[in-house]
Amino acid sequence: MKNIIIFGAPGSGKGTYSDEIVAKYNMGHISTGDVLRAQIKAGTELGKTAQGYIDNGQLLPDELMIDILADAYDKFPAGKGVIFDGFPRTIPQAEALKKMLAERGHDMGMMIELVVEEDVLMARLLNRAKEQGRADDNEETIKKRFAVYHSQTAPLSEWFAKEGIRNTLAWAELGSKEAMLEAIFNTIEKQA
Ligand code: AMP
């Protein structure tokens, strides 16, 4: 199975669709946000560092994230397809991912971008705050996360296009979770 990078703004559904992809294709899954939240819960040094950034809606330093990602990737059997969810979020992270995979004789596989309008994202995240109580799902931090997304992460979309692996799926055209999921599965199967 090829690797998959699932890409999109906070609230675009990266985690939800990753779970569905994992269930269908038996892939590995690395959510860097989940890794950091687990470290916070366990009270580790990394968790303490991560907390300040997450609470402020800021990204952790690239070098730290790249190490975390490589460690997580190497826990899967070589060649098992992995979904990267929440990574890369900057161009240096993307370049480091490409290099880390090349060093292992692997490649990035395909990137799937979930495009969702900001009012829909905000409504979803406020709803998630009620259901899951994530500390960074409050209006003030969400706005900061959107700003960080626009300035640091969104430019990566073009970077993936230049790599020739971008697939864009738009919520505005698909309109439901079921339609989105079907489009995701079609995209994966076209390229597998
Ligand atoms: P997420 O669950 O993917 O929305 O991530 C929650 C928070 O974890 C982000 O707002 C960042 O503070 C941090 N984080 C997760 N992934 C990364 C990454 N690839 N680079 C930097 N910070 C990250």
CA distance 46 to 102: 27
Residue with tokens 């309008």: 117
Q: Looking at the 3D structure of the chain, how many domains does it have? A: 1
Q: What is the pTM of this model?
A: 0.97
pLDDT score at 192: 73
**Could you tell me if the CB of 94 is within 6 A of ligand 1?**
no
Nearest atom in ligand 1 to the alpha carbon of residue 53 is 12
pLDDT in tens, the chain (192 residues): 899 999 999 999 999 999 999 999 999 999 999 999 999 999 999 999 999 999 999 999 999 999 999 999 999 998 899 999 999 999 999 999 999 999 999 999 999 999 999 999 999 999 999 999 888 999 999 999 999 999 999 999 999 999 999 999 999 999 999 999 999 999 999 987
pLDDT score at 140: 95
Domain of 42?
4-190
**Could you tell me if the CB of 86 is within 6 A of ligand 1?**
yes
pLDDT score at 47: 97
Q: Distance from the CA of 96 to the center of ligand 1, in angstroms?
A: 16
CATH of the domain at 168: 3.40.50.300
pLDDT score at 17: 98
**Could you tell me if the CB of 87 is within 6 A of ligand 1?**
yes
Catalytically active residues are 14, 89, 128, 134, 145
Give the per-residue SS3 of the chain. CCCEEEEECCCCCHHHHHHHHHHHHCCEEEEHHHHHHHHHHHCCHHHHHHHHHHHCCCCCCHHHHHHHHHHHHCCCCCCCCEEEECCCCCHHHHHHHHHHHHHCCCCCCEEEEEECCHHHHHHHHHHHHHHHCCCCCCHHHHHHHHHHHHHHHCCHHHHHHHHCCEEEEEHHHHCCHHHHHHHHHHHHHHHC
**Could you tell me if the CB of 10 is within 6 A of ligand 1?**
yes
In a mutational test of the pocket of ligand 1, which residue from 17, 32, 140 has the highest number of ligand atoms less than 8 Å from its CB? 32
Q: Distance from the CA of 46 to the center of ligand 1, in angstroms?
A: 13
**Could you tell me if the CB of 53 is within 6 A of ligand 1?**
yes
Q: Distance from the CA of 33 to the center of ligand 1, in angstroms?
A: 5
